[in-house]
Structure 1
């Protein structure tokens, strides 16, 4: 056992040095290599995508903003920069490495990071004292999720949103719209070319309770 550890230790130290040198890119790359099905892309979203997706948000009436699959926090600071002082940003990710990184690097008191599944969003936000979310954003790759997971997430998202809220989705294929259309009657669509690769955008609005 000790000999196996001795062989692995230098590799582990090298991996940690590389990760530290690359900063958030190193954490993001590690997460992608560990589970590409859940991360979806090796390149974080561009600032053009971020600004366009968030442009639909009514920040004056946003108390709880939720994000699925925050990765290394590409959207987190832009959301916090726009969020009111009494608002909350709650992010949910299955990858404990991402959650650990975010908890260490984001010290804003309005920020909560949870290691869990987006399909459990209702239970998660209630555990943190909320009944409804105003907006939920997701970059999870719906087209590559295990069977049944995409519809389960879309359904739970619709239920937990307040009336007038929206599900903001950015994807590299248009299939996310199919999952959303089962629950959201009104979906605005867009395409952001200044992204690697170009990104399909969806805003699913909850017009009814």
Structure 2
């Protein structure tokens, strides 16, 4: 046993040095390698994807923005830079490594990182003092999620959104649209080619009351 610990120690030390050298990308890479089904991509989204995805948000009316699968915060900082002073950003991830990293690197009173499932978004939103969300963003790979999880997330998202709010989804296949179409009658779409890989962008709008 002692010999195993001695052999593992240099490897752990090497891995820590690599992570420090690579910074956020190193954390993101490790998260992908540990759970590729939930992370979906080995490379964070480009700034072009971020800007295009967030361009349709009415920030003046956004009090609560929710993100599923924030990773190392690629979208978190751009969202916070646009979010009103009395707004809140709740991010939800099943990976404790990402949650710990975000809590250690984002110091903003409007930011809340929750370890949990996106399917529980309604309970999470209520637990933080809100009745609904204005916008929900997701980069979760719907096509590779376990059976039933994708539809459950889409359904819960539609319920938690306010009328006129939107579900913002970026994916590397077009299959996510089918999950969204069961609940959102209006879905706008676009492509962003300056991304690795190029991705599909969707905005599913909840009907007005």
Residue 75, structure 1, aligned to residue 75, structure 2: yes
Structure 1 residue 208: Cα displacement: 4.2
Counterparts of 1:194 and 1:8 in 2: how far apart (Å)?
40
Match of 1:56, SS state, is coil
1:55 aligned partner: 55
Task: Name the TM-score, length of structure 1 as normaliser.
Answer: 0.98
Partner residue of 2:179?
A: 179
Residue 148 of structure 2 is aligned to residue 145 of structure 1: no
Distance 1:59 1:30 in 2: 33
State the partner residue of 1:25: 25
Partner Cα distance (2:128, 2:35) in 1: 28
| Structure 1 segment 8-19 matched on structure 2, within 5 A | 8-19=8-19
Distance 2:24 2:109 in 1: 21
1:154 matched residue in structure 2: 154
Q: Distance in 1 between matches of 2:8 and 2:123?
A: 39
Shift of 1:17: 1.0
Partner of 1:96: 96
- 1:7 positional shift: 2.2
Structure 2: stretches of 5+ with no match in the other structure? none
TM-score by length of 2: 0.98
Q: In 2, Cα distance between the equivalents of 1:8 and 1:122?
A: 42
C-alpha displacement of 1:6 = 2.2
| CA–CA separation in structure 1 for the residues paired with 2:135 and 2:2 | 50
Q: How many residues in Structure 1 have an aligned counterpart in Structure 2? A: 209
1 CA distance for matches of 2:144 and 2:168? 18
* Aligned position for 2:3: 3
Alpha-carbon RMSD across the aligned residues, in angstroms, is 0.9
Superimposed CA distance per residue, residues 82-112 of structure 1 (whole angstroms, 9 cap, x where no aligned partner): 0000000100001111110000000011100
* Higher deviation after alignment, 114-123 or 3-12: 3-12
Residue 119 of structure 1 and its aligned partner are, at CA, apart by 0.5
Q: Write the distance in 2 (CA, Å) between the matches of 1:12 and 1:114.
A: 27
Q: Secondary structure at the match of 2:50?
A: helix
In 2: Cα distance, 1:117 partner to 1:49 partner = 24
